[in-house]
Chains A and B, each alone.
Chain A
Amino acid sequence: MRVVVDFDLCESNAVCMGIAPEVFEVRDDDFLYVLQEEPDESLRPKIEEAVARCPKQAISIED
């Protein structure tokens, strides 16, 4: 599983960080950082929730 963020779409609403802080972090510079691009399978449900709840539909999962 690979987490892909379209940074042209991302506008740092930080919803993903609220759901999966292990993977997504919005820092004080207001930018989103993907902490693990290939996270463990156990994180899949959380990442799927982040995909669904991103207001910009900017996150996707590539298997």
Chain B
Amino acid sequence: MNKPIRRVVVVGASLAGVRAAETLRAEELAEEIVVVGDEPHQPYDRPPLSKDVLTALEPPEVGLRNAQGLDVTWELGVGAASLELAEQTVHLTDGRSLAYDGLVLACGARARVLPGTEEMARVSALRTLDDARSLRAALVAGAERVLVVGAGFIGAEVAASCRSRGVEVVMVEPLEQPLVRVLGAAVGSLIADLHRSNGVDVRLGVGVDSMAEDGVGGKVEVRFSDGTIESFDHVVVGIGVVPNTGWLDGSGLTIDDGIVCDETTLAAPGVVAAGDVARWPNPLFGELMRVEHWEHALDMGAHAARRLATPDDQAGPYAPVPWFWSDQYDRKLQLAGRVLPTDEVVLVAGSVDDMRFCALYGRDGKVSGVLAVNMPAKVVRYRKAIADGLTWEQAMSETEVKEPFVVGRQG
């Protein structure tokens, strides 16, 4: 076994960072571990923020279980300001510096903000615990009408959570369908239908031109791109995230929509990256990818920790089949793989009309992904097969059901 690293600094106290620290400790890969997190809170889990935190009678516990009792030094409420690779030192925003022998960069991503809304109390993203608490407070205080900007997964989950509280929800999406650039138009239209059937006013091809807070009435007045003006009690903006790499400018690391690593997660000698902020060539798909999923943060955090303690000639690639889930109303949507909106999509189980189905995506002769609504076991099986290189021909020959994926058949 390799000698433990003397001192590892982990920048980022969220899922990837905590998992890296936990792995270093559990596998005795480091002597001293310092975890730096810019939020004042104990490390917490994000998936409940758009769901249970908004809907539960009592706010649920969101602390990360694996952070509790972890033998590390926590530096919470302080950010990383800059990195000096040659000196092996991270400078903190409070003026202190931390020397390291190994460095894990898990500094995550932040929500994209609509310009001009930064100071508006009733306009927020849904990214942090504070964001979720502020929306929950607005809902508890009796918000009756909420605008969701962006029909991505976060926006869609927030819309569903608000509807479950009986709140009126308008969801606008500048593109022609929700998630059209991720899942394609057919699946996107299905998501739009799901929300409409649950009472959301879904407006496609509509963006926001400007917003203004009305201090007296406690409303936000919104001017939409179609010229209409309406007021809302709260606005949630879910238009994607930006990797937190500004503090690394000039550090010598390669920054290009994230911290660019090699296929083992190494960004520089003695420096690894993991989670939302890391971009690496996944050998399974032959492309440089940055993945923002929950499980990915966990797995890449563990992989990066082990990589740090492994000699270069023994380090293996990080080659996952990305997977995530999204809960909206009583539907559980799961996607595994790396799909493109231009991929072929074929239904292999269940029924689109019942909103319980499994579909395969394919391109270049391979199965590129599996999407399921309320069919989790199918995803598990196909995900394994995708990791093993399942060809499209093989998948089609083995399935009894294979129908073109069509939405909105009128009976």
Interface residues as binary, B251-265 with A (CB distance below 8 Å gives 1, 0 otherwise)? 000000000000000
- B371-392: CB near A (< 8 Å → 1, else 0) gives 0001111011001100000000
- Chain A, 16-61, CB within 8 A of any chain B CB: 17-18, 25-28, 30, 52-53, 55, 57
**Chain B stretch 263-283: residues in CB contact (< 8 A) with chain A:** none
B377 neighbours in A (Cβ, 8 Å): 14, 17, 25-28
The docked-state distance in angstroms from the alpha carbon of A28 to that of B47 is 25
A15 CB within 8 Å of chain B: yes
Nearest B residue to A60, CB-CB = B65
A13-B334, A55-B325 given; A30·B298 CB < 8 A? no
State A13–B298 Cα separation when bound (angstroms).
15
Residue of A nearest to B47 (CB): A55
Question: How far is the CB of B71 from the nearest CB of chain A, in Å?
Answer: 17
How does the 8 Å CB contact mask read for B295-328 relative to A, with 1 for contact and 0 for none? 1001100000000000000000000000001010
| Residues of the A chain whose Cβ atoms lie less than 8 Å from the Cβ of B384 | 18
User: Chain B contacts of A52 at CB under 8 A?
Assistant: 19, 66, 298
Is B294 located at the chain interface by the 8 A CB criterion? yes
B332 at interface (Cβ–Cβ under 8 A)? yes
CA distance A17 to B381 in the complex (A): 9
A55 to B298, CA, bound (A): 10
B 24-65 binary contact with A (CB < 8 Å = 1; else 0): 000000000000000000000101000000000000000001
Q: Determine whether the beta carbon of A26 is less than 8 Å from that of B380.
A: yes
- The CA-CA distance from A18 to B387 in the complex, in Å, is 12
- Whether B374 pairs with A30 at a CB distance below 8 angstroms is yes
Contact of B295 among A11, A15, A17, A25 (CB under 8 A): A15
CA of A26 to CA of B332, assembled, Å: 14
A52-B66, A55-B47, A57-B65 known; A14-B295 Cβ under 8 A: no
Q: How far is the CA of A28 from the CA of B377 in the complex (A)?
A: 7
Contact call A13/B65, Cβ cutoff below 8 A: no
Q: How far is the CB of B325 from chain A (nearest CB, A)?
A: 6
User: A12 and B295: CB pair below 8 A?
Assistant: no
- Taking a contact as CB atoms under 8 Å apart, the answer to whether A14 and B374 are in contact is no
- In order of increasing CB-CB distance, the 4 nearest A-B pairs are A14-B376, A18-B380, A26-B377, A14-B380
Question: Which B residues lie at the A interface, using CB under 8 A?
Answer: 19, 45, 47, 65-66, 294-295, 298-299, 325, 327, 332, 334, 374-377, 379-380, 383-384
Given contacts A52-B19, A57-B45, 8 further A-B contacts (CB under 8 A): A11-B332, A13-B332, A13-B376, A14-B379, A17-B380, A30-B375, A55-B47, A55-B294
14 A-B pairs in the complex with CB atoms less than 8 angstroms apart: A11-B327, A12-B332, A14-B376, A15-B295, A17-B377, A18-B384, A26-B380, A30-B374, A30-B375, A52-B66, A52-B298, A53-B299, A55-B295, A57-B45
